[in-house]
Amino acid sequence: MGEVLVGALAHSPGMTGFPHRAQPDVGARALDAVGALRARIEAFDPDVVLGVSNDHFTSTSMRSLAPFAIGIGPRYDHPATERLVGFLGIPRRTVSGHPQLAQWLLRELLRHDIDVTSMSGRFGFDENFSVPIHLLGLADKPFMPLIVNAVQHPMPSPRRCVEVGVRIGDALRRQTLATRVAVLATGGLSHSVGTPTAGRIDEEFDEMILGMLTSGRLDDLRDLDPTAITAAGNGAEEVRQWLVAAGVAAPGAVELIDYQPVPEWLSAVAVVCTPADRPA
Amino acid sequence: MTALGAPEADLSGIHDLLWSLRHDPALVDEFKAGPERILEQYAVDPLLHAAIATLDVRALYLAGVNPYLLFFGAIELGLTRDEYYRRISEGEADG
């Protein structure tokens, strides 16, 4: 039986690539929250990490965009390109995958009518996973990426995201290939990239989502209006990752470590995790 | 028709081109040397030719081009981040 810890945090490139642009006290508080999540993960000592995020057209393209895709490869480029090394300020290296568990999870989800596709071959990370892996000290842990389409409409519904999370949580608790699995959702919450509203943070939206997550209101998360998500910015579509995380944590809930808007990093840094004494 | 009443452009070609610009540095040079041939090669909708050739990112955004691909592609073609956001916000009430 696998034990599962669930966490979620922003993956803003500003956290590693241009932290100095933030007001010093604001940026420091945001990174302290990430540090608190790192301490929880280190105490949990996972055997493997399942990362849940979108790809920003670094390793995927419009030629084929799956609603959900899991990496089943043996290794990943972290970050994917030299250009991203400069942008993110993260030295390049390889992160190991966990093909055995990823393949098992893929089969298990398909067996339960969750149509997830697989990714293999050369695959690299952008800020989606490289920022969290770097800040959380996870580069030496086996890592499985689950890519959620949060970059181009049509996207999976909130209901489907929660359902995928619930199925993943069930599967991970039943498997015997890893004793402890950390599930880490990254991205969001409200923000915009490449649009006229870049830099705008919708704190009311963020607080609504965080309220639902921390009180375990799964039905409210399932019933989120997709147009309300879109209205909070194209980056807010990444809330889908948080919905997957909420499904994994169910019937438990995550608790808020901190929430700190950082306009200079284009988003707030929200950080949540399942309680230290009660993994999901 | 788009919300502005303009004819809807087929976006598959421009999306393919913008993605490729980010992944193929040689293509950036080829595009700068002669955009017409590349626009033809990637089957970019003629409705979008003038906008991409002049880096009118606001027109491309309003035509429905994906903002991530648009931002990354424009940066590859030489726009600075600040200039990109200045251009895309032109005419916005608070832009």
pLDDT, residue A121, reads: 86
Q: Quickly list H helices, B1-95.
A: 12-23, 25-33, 35-41, 49-53, 57-62, 67-76, 81-88
Chain B positions in Cβ-Cβ contact with residue A196 (cut-off 8 Å): 61, 85, 88-89, 92, 95
State percent of chain B over pLDDT 70.
Answer: 89
Chain A positions in Cβ-Cβ contact with residue B95 (cut-off 8 Å): 196
pTM: 0.96
Mean pLDDT, rounded, for A102-123? 96
Q: Judge: A193–B67 Cβ closer than 8 Å, yes or no.
A: yes
Mean pLDDT, rounded, for A54-73? 96
Residue A57 pLDDT > 80: yes
Distance CA(B42)–CA(A129), nearest Å, equals: 31
**Mean pLDDT across chain B, nearest whole number?**
92
Which pair of tokens denotes residue A106?
């893929």
**Which residues touch A160 (CB under 8 Å, ≥6 apart)?**
A67
Mean pLDDT, rounded, for A23-32? 98
pLDDT, residue A207, reads: 98
Quick one: pLDDT band at residue B4, thresholds 50, 70, 90?
low
Task: Flag whether residue A209 sits within 8 Å of chain B, measured between CB atoms.
Answer: no
Mean pLDDT, rounded, for A171-189? 97
Chain B positions in Cβ-Cβ contact with residue A198 (cut-off 8 Å): 85
- Alpha-carbon distance A195 to nearest alpha carbon in chain B (angstroms): 6
Determine contact, residues B52/B60, Cβ cutoff 8 Å. Answer: yes
* B 6-45 residues with CB < 8 A to A: 12, 15-16, 19, 22
Q: Judge: B68–A195 Cβ closer than 8 Å, yes or no.
A: no
Q: Judge: A194–B70 Cβ closer than 8 Å, yes or no.
A: yes
Quick one: pLDDT band at residue A54, thresholds 50, 70, 90?
very high
Chain A positions in Cβ-Cβ contact with residue B88 (cut-off 8 Å): 194-196
* Among candidate residues A42, A112, A121, A34, the one with its CA nearest the CA of residue A77: A121
CA angle A11, A16, A17 (to 5 degrees): 105
Residue A229 pLDDT > 90: yes
Give per-residue pLDDT as tens, A240-250. Answer: 999 999 999 99
Task: Flag whether residue B88 sits within 8 Å of chain A, measured between CB atoms.
Answer: yes
Residue B6 pLDDT > 80: no
Quick one: pLDDT band at residue A211, thresholds 50, 70, 90?
very high
pLDDT, residue B91, reads: 80
**Mean pLDDT across chain A, nearest whole number?**
96
pLDDT, residue B3, reads: 54
The ipTM assigned to this model is 0.94
Residue B81 CA, distance from chain mean position? 14
Residue B37 pLDDT > 60: yes
- Which of A18, A54, A81, A83 to mutate to test binding with chain B, by most B CBs within 10 Å of its CB? A83
Q: Judge: A57–B16 Cβ closer than 8 Å, yes or no.
A: no
Determine contact, residues A4/A50, Cβ cutoff 8 Å. Answer: no
- Which of B17, B68, B79 to mutate to test binding with chain A, by most A CBs within 10 Å of its CB? B68
Residue B5 pLDDT > 60: no
Strand A75-78, strand A93-96: pairing: antiparallel
pLDDT, residue B95, reads: 39
Give per-residue pLDDT as tens, A216-226. Answer: 999 999 999 99
For residue A261, list its beta bridge partners: A268
SS3 of A162-181: the string is HHHHHHHHHHHHHCCCCCEE
Q: Which stretch of DSSP H or E encloses residue A205?
A: helix A203-214
Distance CA(B95)–CA(B84), nearest Å, equals: 12
CB-side neighbour CA atoms (13 Å) of A74: 0
